[in-house]
Structure 1
Amino acid sequence: MTLLADQIKNAALNFGYEKCGIIKISDIDGYKEKLEERIEKVPEAKGFYQGQYRFTQLKDTYPWAKSIVICVRKYGKYHIPEHLKGMIAKYYLVDGRKDENSKDFQDSLKYEKYMKDLGLRAETERGFGLVPLRFAAMKAGLGIVRKNNFFYTESGSTVYLEAWLIDKELENIETPKVRPCSEKCNLCMKACPSASLSKPYTMNPIACVSCITTFMGRDMPNEKYKEQIGAWVYGCDACQDVCPMNKNSWKEIEEFPNLQELSEQISLEKILKMDYSYLEEVMQAKFWYIDKASVWKWKVNAINAMVNNYEEHYRDHILEACKDSNLKVREMAEWAVNKLELQ
């Protein structure tokens, strides 16, 4: 079985992954305790974390699964259009997990086929995963989670994780070579615009700018943290950008497929002018944390960014948004008009 585990790991490295480890499915048993610790620290987020309990029932949900193959892929290698920095978090711009045009996605498919060709049953979910990804990666010794709650390897936090359940009991565990956070460092907490990072290794998703601008934040005019969101429209990079362990980790040496062309269609003003078919077919396919039924959030978030960083030429765009076909957008635009006293 050691030979098979080595084959699986070496294949991952050949398909472009930075790291690969294999753990037994029983190694996830401690996740429930960690989840309940998190809820105890942030009780107001209990509803948010309820969905994570699915990871505590893997043996019941997938009785055939024996092990977890967990892989790390670096994304901090792509060129990011300058005008999108500070508006859309970099990770989402180069997220290859579901982008069929990306080499990362194609490599993932090839790797899965490789495992199946070995006679393994291998299943994954190329989004939020079938297992608690960061927990599994730590159990495999591939890196550590830092005070900002992001997973780090020697490459910093500009990596994402993929995992497969397989039907063979295998193991391939590394010893992490990443030094821990300095006890004195609190840069990520100081940089967090909404104090979502109120304590080390603790995050309140209810206050997180990235959460609010993607799958949460359904009532922006009354959102407690709308001013703290600042110029962000989708996601937030604040805590990762200030982390000393990310210094010089991003190398813009490759172009992500179609990103430059798409970026030319994105600005605060252009978002407000987007028709809903474009938002549903193009923007949602790329930025899938906002579902199709909620693509109006793009316009709401753009208006919020305009208010937080108001410039005179935004005026006509906000007034025009008062006539948008979507009620949520009209409500946000009307709130902005009153806030800015545009009439």
Structure 2
Amino acid sequence: MSPEQYTRFIKAETARLGFDYCGIARAVQLDEDARRLEQWLNKGMHGSMRYMENHFDLRIDPGKLVPGARSVITLLLNYYPATEQQPGAPMVSKYAYGKDYHKIIKNKLKELLSRIHDEIGEVQGRGFVDSAPVLERSWAQRSGLGWIGKNGNLIHKGAGSFFFIATLIVDLPLLYDDPVAADFCGSCTRCLDACPTGALPAPRVVDGSRCISYYTIELKEQLIPEQMQEKFGDWMFGCDICQDVCPWNRFSKATGEAALEPLPEILNFSTRDWEALTEEKFSEIFRHSPLKRAGYAGIRRNLRLRQI
């Protein structure tokens, strides 16, 4: 098989596995991204997320994750829900409506790599989703899947930004897609203007230490700075404001991935239901949910913030 045949096979398999888009870039060291990441870390915009400081060299060089890496395959999986929560309820970010995406996507990546081994032969590769030291948005842009919007999210011109991004690094030569060089945000600043905590101080600069998602998910301390406590609105877990106001998300369509279908409790629970929830019931209902990351204590804390 030639690189062209390898590429056709891989893209057909990703579609069969339910990924919405697939792009491929040449595996190179990301020097410019390294400089931006270093500046971001030096400014403390990662807050208490110290894990962001780890494995810096792995984040910028795919060859350190897969020796002899030739290609970086980037995959998008749509998570936009067909039904959303009712206004006024404790709000959950749309990515967390269904089951934990990490397991769903990792299983798909394992199957994809297995099919590559079956059809192409001995190929070294590793799959990553979100929690690994990979600059997935940079690879997505390099592989032609979109551009980095002013809100810091990858935006696909025909489908918006409500996507999970997965990466498969392989030592296989493939045909490479053209990167998206243009910025289609234009003069729009809706996301910057809408952020209630000032977490978007400039286009494509996300101050993670000021983001509602950071406070409601990543921050494990029970005390949240007083100057932030009145800015969360109805958000209990995560935040979608900068995506909800983005004009490109008018093209978002409901996901076809059954495992990402919203849990009935997330759609239907009222504030009273959430407040009455015991730790035992929380563990039972949300055992496969991203809400586990905040934990029962974190959800209770976030509910109290809505009453301030």
Aligned length: 300
Identity percentage over the alignment?
A: 20
Distance (whole Å) between structure 2 residues aligned to residue 117 and residue 130 of structure 1: 28
Answer whether contact 2:197 2:210 (CA < 8 A) is retained: yes
Query: What residue number does 1:336 align with?
Result: none
SS at match of 2:264: helix
Q: What are the equivalent positions in structure 2 for 1:138-217 lying under 5 Å apart?
A: 138-153=141-156, 154-176=158-180, 180-183=184-187, 185-216=188-219
Answer whether contact 1:142 1:174 (CA < 8 A) is retained: no
Q: What is the TM-score when the length of structure 2 is the normalising length?
A: 0.83
Answer whether contact 2:106 2:127 (CA < 8 A) is retained: no
* Shift in alpha-carbon separation, 1:176–1:75, aligned structure 2, 3 A: same
* Shift in alpha-carbon separation, 1:265–1:242, aligned structure 2, 3 A: closer
Deviation at 1:303, TM superposition (A): 1.3
- The partner residue of 1:132 within 131, 135, 152 is 135
* Shift in alpha-carbon separation, 1:25–1:297, aligned structure 2, 3 A: same
Taking only aligned residues, the RMSD between alpha carbons, in angstroms, comes to 3.1
* Shift in alpha-carbon separation, 1:111–1:216, aligned structure 2, 3 A: same
Matched, 1:91 2:95: yes
Query: What residue number does 1:33 align with?
Result: 35
Matched, 1:7 2:9: yes
Deviation at 1:255, TM superposition (A): 6.5
The range that moved more, 56-65 or 11-20, is: 56-65
Q: What are the equivalent positions in structure 2 for 1:1-343 lying under 5 Å apart?
A: 1-39=3-41, 42-45=43-46, 48=49, 49-51=52-54, 53=56, 54-56=58-60, 58-82=62-86, 87-94=91-98, 97-98=101-102, 107-118=108-119, 119=121, 120-153=123-156, 154-176=158-180, 180-183=184-187, 185-216=188-219, 218-251=221-254, 259-263=262-266, 266-283=269-286, 285-287=288-290, 290=293, 294-305=295-306, 307-308=307-308
SS at match of 1:70: strand
Distance (whole Å) between structure 2 residues aligned to residue 160 and residue 286 of structure 1: 15
Distance (whole Å) between structure 2 residues aligned to residue 141 and residue 87 of structure 1: 33
The range that moved more, 139-148 or 106-115, is: 106-115
Amino acid in structure 1 at the alignment position of 2:16: N
* Shift in alpha-carbon separation, 1:177–1:221, aligned structure 2, 3 A: closer
* Larger RCO, structure (CA 8 Å, separation 6 or more): 2
- Any idea what the Cα deviations from partners look like across 1:97-150, whole Å, max 9, x if unmatched? 2355xxx77655543432232323332234424521101111112110110111
Answer whether contact 1:97 1:127 (CA < 8 A) is retained: no
Answer whether contact 2:89 2:271 (CA < 8 A) is retained: no
Structure 1 segments unaligned to the other structure (5+ residues):
309-343
The range that moved more, 237-246 or 81-90, is: 81-90
Deviation at 1:235, TM superposition (A): 0.6
Distance (whole Å) between structure 2 residues aligned to residue 85 and residue 214 of structure 1: 18
* Shift in alpha-carbon separation, 1:39–1:80, aligned structure 2, 3 A: same
* Shift in alpha-carbon separation, 1:249–1:221, aligned structure 2, 3 A: closer
Larger radius of gyration: 1
The range that moved more, 213-222 or 79-88, is: 79-88
Structure 2 segments unaligned to the other structure (5+ residues):
none
Distance (whole Å) between structure 2 residues aligned to residue 178 and residue 96 of structure 1: 33
Distance (whole Å) between structure 1 residues aligned to residue 302 and residue 225 of structure 2: 13
Distance (whole Å) between structure 2 residues aligned to residue 90 and residue 235 of structure 1: 9
* Shift in alpha-carbon separation, 1:84–1:166, aligned structure 2, 3 A: farther
Answer whether contact 1:76 1:158 (CA < 8 A) is retained: yes
